Amino acid sequence: MTLDYAALMSEAIAEGDKARLHAPPNPWVGALVVRDGVVLAAGHTQVPGESHAEVDALRRAGELARGATMVVTLEPCRHVGRTGPCVEAIIDAGIERVVVGSLDPDPRVAGRGVAALRAAGLEVQVGAQLDAVRAQLAPYLWHRITGRPYVVLKVAATLDGIVAMGDGSSKWITGEEARRDAHVLRAQSQAIVVGAGTVRADDPALTARLDGVVVEPLRVVLGHAPASARVRPCWERVGDLGAVLDELGAHDILQVLVEGGAKVASEFLEAGLVNHVVWYVAPALAGAHGARGALATLSTPSIDALRRARFIDVRRLGEDVRMDLEV
């Protein structure tokens, strides 16, 4: 029987999405135990220190795993960290075939997991739905390859790119559904970066509020926050942005959300440090007179210097539109 591994990997990716908020600094992996095209069990990464996706799926499958196939989004680990090696668990469970989405660039893994499975006599296939898996795990993969967090720049603006009016007011440009979505984006990020000017002007808490649960990423202020600012406790940093990212990466921050203001957003783009842009557009027009543009200090001397990006998703949120761009 020929199995549709692409479709099965899509199911594993969806399973991995369930771990997106709680897995970091581990990757949000999904795994399936499959026999004759039927999914016997599904698992995803638990909180750090608890089961990885493979072990979670094997536990749910029990003895049914013997002789079955495992479909997993990321290469199983073979080292001992907070938990034992997933490779050994797969072998001990009697799995006969493993279908892997992407190899893991973590130097402790980096092909060694696949090699160990093959050495134990298992059939291993690599690369099913590779692009989709890499897109899902982009922050983790970027961090493991570069040592820096994946940088997401978030902007909420009018149709003509204005983020604050002439009197400085900006609440609220976008509607409730877009703002709720932005809280999910915060919760997916382990750190939020904002300029000291924005802290002084808006006094944001920079927490993520999801269904009554408050998630508190690390708050990073570029400059100095007032002693009474709601963003405290926070890191206060000045100087080179690359050095700030290096420090965050060393603390296992996989994704950073840059929330502004306009000067900070422009500086990150100017330095070439943005991986992904999430741009919320409201169906409103402000005009440039006295207003503040989303990238007010970004300099582009010629059309040849225009910073090109690629749309990877566009969707409607209430009356607003969310546009995702890969820089």
Instruction: Phi first, then psi: give them for residue 68, nearest 5 degrees.
Output: -90, 180
Question: Could you give the maximum distance between any two Cα atoms of the chain, in Å?
Answer: 70
List all residues 6 or more positions away from 120 whose beta carbon is below 8 Å from its beta carbon: 87, 91
Q: Is the peptide bond before 233 cis (omega within 30 degrees of 0)?
A: yes
Extract the tokens encoding 283.
């169906």
For 69, the 3-state DSSP assignment is strand
Selecting among 11, 50, 54, 319, the annotated active-site residue is 54
Decide if 54 is catalytic.
yes
Extract the tokens encoding 142.
């970027």
Strands 320-326, 276-282: pairing kind: antiparallel
Count of helix runs (H) and strand runs (E) in the chain? 10, 17
Length of the chain: 327
Structure letter (DSSP) for residue 40: E
List all residues 6 or more positions away from 173 whose beta carbon is below 8 Å from its beta carbon: 156, 157, 158, 162, 163, 282, 284
Instruction: Phi first, then psi: give them for residue 138, nearest 5 degrees.
Output: -50, -45
- In whole angstroms, give the CA distance from residue 42 to residue 103: 20
- In whole angstroms, give the CA distance from residue 125 to residue 103: 11
Asked if residues 271 and 205 have their Cβ atoms less than 8 Å apart, the reply is: no
For 59, the 3-state DSSP assignment is helix
Could you give the residue numbers annotated as active site?
54
